[in-house]
């Protein structure tokens, strides 16, 4: 590889690395409160990153054997009120609705998250797929 090509590759990599936090923030303004059971999937993977979006949901980056997913959970205020925490390197089974944002990225709107290490199951939506935090007094109810 020539030095010029190495520099060009490094610049492109740095550019995409700088943009990655913005894709989660962009998702926050993009997803409505809708949850489509027709697009529901279950994945198993390891939490590689936990992103706290200001006045928005906690977002998990989950790596499976073949892919990496961005999982939208619930507002931080709701999670902390319910004493729900997430840890990196935890093995999780996540059921949720697939959603492609306007940014072209795939998101999963979480309904149920099971920590396969502890066996603890976290429900984020009720049997009608409505957010459990909907009846809590929240300053901002937007989902990403």
pLDDT in tens, 88-103: 999 999 999 999 888 8
The position carrying tokens 């959970």 is 73
In this prediction, residue 141 carries a pLDDT of 44
User: 54: Cβ–Cβ under 8 A, 6 or more apart, which residues?
Assistant: none
Residue 39 tokens read as: 């697009």
Distance of CA 49 to the CA centre of its chain: 9
pLDDT tens-place string over residues 25-46: 444 444 445 789 999 999 999 9
Cα gap 86→58, rounded to integer Å: 9
Confidence band of 24 (pLDDT split at 50, 70, 90): very low
- Per the document, the length of the chain is 144
Domains annotated for the chain, with CATH where assigned, are 3-135 (2.40.50.140)
Integer Cα distance of 32 and 40 in angstroms: 16
8 Å CB contact between 93 and 116: yes
Interval 5-10 mean pLDDT: 53
Task: Count CB neighbours of 124 within 10 A.
Answer: 25
DSSP-based helix, strand, coil % in the chain, nearest 5: 30, 35, 35
Q: 72: which 2 tokens?
A: 């939208």
Give pLDDT, residue 9.
52
């Amino acid at each position: 590889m020539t030095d010029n090509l190495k520099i060009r590759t490094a610049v492109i990599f740095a550019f995409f690395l700088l943009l990655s936090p913005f894709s989660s923030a962009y998702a926050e303004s993009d997803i409505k409160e809708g949850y489509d059971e027709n697009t529901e999937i279950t994945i198993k993977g390891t939490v590689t990153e936990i992103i706290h979006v200001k006045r928005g949901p906690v977002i998990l980056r989950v790596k499976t054997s073949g892919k990496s997913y961005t999982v939208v959970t619930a507002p931080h205020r709701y999670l902390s009120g319910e004493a729900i925490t997430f840890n990196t390197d935890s093995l999780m089974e996540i059921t949720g609705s697939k959603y492609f944002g306007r940014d072209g990225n795939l998101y999963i709107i979480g309904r149920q998250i099971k920590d396969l290490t502890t066996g603890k199951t976290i429900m984020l939506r009720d049997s009608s797929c409505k957010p459990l935090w909907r009846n809590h007094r929240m300053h901002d109810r937007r989902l990403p």
